[in-house]
Amino acid sequence: MIPGLEQGEFLRLRKHPPERLREQSRRASGPALTAKDDDLLFFAGPVHRCRGYTESLGTGLLAGINLARRLRGLPSAMPPVTTMLGGLYRYLREADPRHFQPMNANFGLLDPIEKAKGRDGKEARKQALVERALADFQTWSSQL
């Protein structure tokens, strides 16, 4: 029913994939969260141990974008690590497997920003992170 996905295969897993599958997907994934031996197989959402509806939606959307890019002969497009989706992808790719924990979006995933001064420093810093992320994401997405 969806143009371009006539030959696509979709798997529907249980609500929470078995631990063994999640570990295999982490070990088997390349830089764009593709299978190391098949760059047309993308992992996203709970299979890759990311938590939350928004995080799963974001990783799934990016998997779809990158599959379309690969089918057109283009390289994968990863969002900047200064954005929440880019920071989450970095964590999923680079976290130490011995200490890996499922992850929701949080400010700790983003590259730090110069500390804001004053009484409202924490809120000002978060606002600066958001503004930088929005600008970087807009620049990145306009180049897709």
Cβ atoms 12, 47 nearer than 8 A: no
pTM for this model (two decimals): 0.74
| Strand, helix or coil for residue 59 | helix
Read off the tokens for 135.
């600008």
| Inter-CA distances, 113 with 4, 65, 139, Å | 41, 29, 18
* Structural domains of the chain, ranges and CATH numbers in brackets: 19-142 (3.50.50.60)
pLDDT per position as a tens digit, 12-47: 655 555 555 555 555 556 677 787 778 888 878 777
